[in-house]
Each structure stands twice: as structure tokens, then as C-alpha cells.
Chain A
């Protein structure tokens, strides 16, 4: 069974600081996704990473994928309050069909 683990689960940081969220998964994966969820809202797609070494950046967020280490990172640069949300990584692989398996989520709070 494919397992996806994120850490930390809770992250409180100050504006202007940098931090990284980690996503580990248990079996060979073809594709990894990052989502954002604001309180009471739906999940919004942030990044799609499709190959080893893939790196995507959007504003203050950068995601990368290392399929050999079965690890993805979401790096936050110079955090601002608007980034406060819960961030999920999700993985699918041919061995688990096309189901998306989600991590537990990382609840990020950026304090002024």
C-alpha cells in the first residue's frame, strides 16, 4: 500500500523567513502533486511534478522531486501572511492504479 508522509504537520513561521515542507512516499511513484487548501475551502492545485529532478516555481513557492529518494520538497521563500493555508502532497503510481494518495497535510501559519 502506498503511504505518503509529510513533515512537519504544523508550521508556524514569521513573515520574511524561509522554510521547507517535506513529503516522503513509500513506493515507486510516477507523479507527485502539491495542493493548497484554505480553511473551509476546496483543494487548489499548485504543482505537478512528473519526473526525477523536476523543479517548479510559482511566486514564493518552489517544489522539487527526487524519485530515487522518494522525496518531494515545497520550499517557501520570504513567507508572507497570504501563504497561510494547509499544504498537501499527493502521489499516484502505476502500482496503485491511478488513485491519488494524499499526505496528512501541513498546516502553515505565517505570523506578521
Chain B
């Protein structure tokens, strides 16, 4: 398996623009997580899905953030409109049961100028 695949790897955008981050989990995994990592706040869980259904979105910082998982092999995290404080590395991770670790993608480094 190729692992968790995220795209793009890097994104530079202007404030106010819409940004869409994409994730393909490992085949067969039924949990998908979106994390954000910054120096100031560390690793924060934004939202996670089980069997394509959002279970906990309490970490989503504002209404500007939304996430979807239309099928078992694809998820998106959208920020609209983007702001400079959204600059961070966004990781997607997946796992296949409660007794295994989560596997992380390579991350998307987002810079909002």
C-alpha cells in the first residue's frame, strides 16, 4: 500500500482565497483524522471520521473550516476564506481499528500571505 496520500504537499495562497486539502487514506481503514501542527499549538485534532461519517469536529477552529468524506477513499479539508493564522502543516491520518496506531500522510504545508 502507498500509505496515506495527501495533496498538495505545499500550498501558498493569498489571504481570502479558498484552500482545499485532499487526503486518500489507506485502503480498508475506516477512521480518518485531520490534524494541524504549529509551533505554538503543537498537534491539534481538527476532525475525525468513522466509516465516512464525521464523529467529532470540536477541534475545527471556525466556520471557515469544513471537512467532507464523500467515500471511503477520499476526504477534503477546506478553508474559506483563508487567513494568515491558518498557516500550518495539515496532516491526514487513518487507522483500521481501535487497537492499532494511526498512519500519517506526508502533510500539506500551507502558507497564507
Q: Is the interface of A mostly helix, strand, loop or mixed?
A: strand
Tell me the count of chain B residues lying within 8 A, CB to CB, of chain A.
Answer: 23
- Is A77 interfacial (CB-CB < 8 Å)? no
- Checking A30, A45, A101, A105 against B45 with a beta-carbon cut-off of 8 angstroms, the contacting residue is A101
**Residues B104 and A88 in contact, CB atoms below 8 Å apart:** no
B83-104 vs A, CB cutoff 8 Å, 1 = contact: the mask equals 0000000010101001111111
A43: chain B residues within 8 A (beta carbon): 91, 93, 104
Number of residue pairs A-B, CB distance < 8 angstroms: 52
Q: Please report which residues of chain A, range 59-112, place their CB below 8 angstroms from some CB of chain B when the two chains form the complex.
A: 88, 90, 92, 97-102, 104-105
Other 7 A-B pairs with CB < 8 A, given A33-B101, A48-B99, A99-B55: A33-B102, A42-B107, A45-B102, A98-B31, A98-B95, A99-B33, A105-B43
Sampled A-B contacts (30; CB under 8 Å) = A31-B98, A31-B99, A33-B101, A33-B102, A41-B106, A42-B91, A42-B104, A42-B105, A42-B106, A42-B107, A44-B104, A45-B101, A50-B99, A88-B43, A90-B102, A98-B31, A98-B48, A98-B55, A98-B95, A98-B98, A99-B33, A99-B45, A99-B48, A100-B33, A100-B93, A102-B35, A102-B43, A104-B42, A105-B42, A105-B43
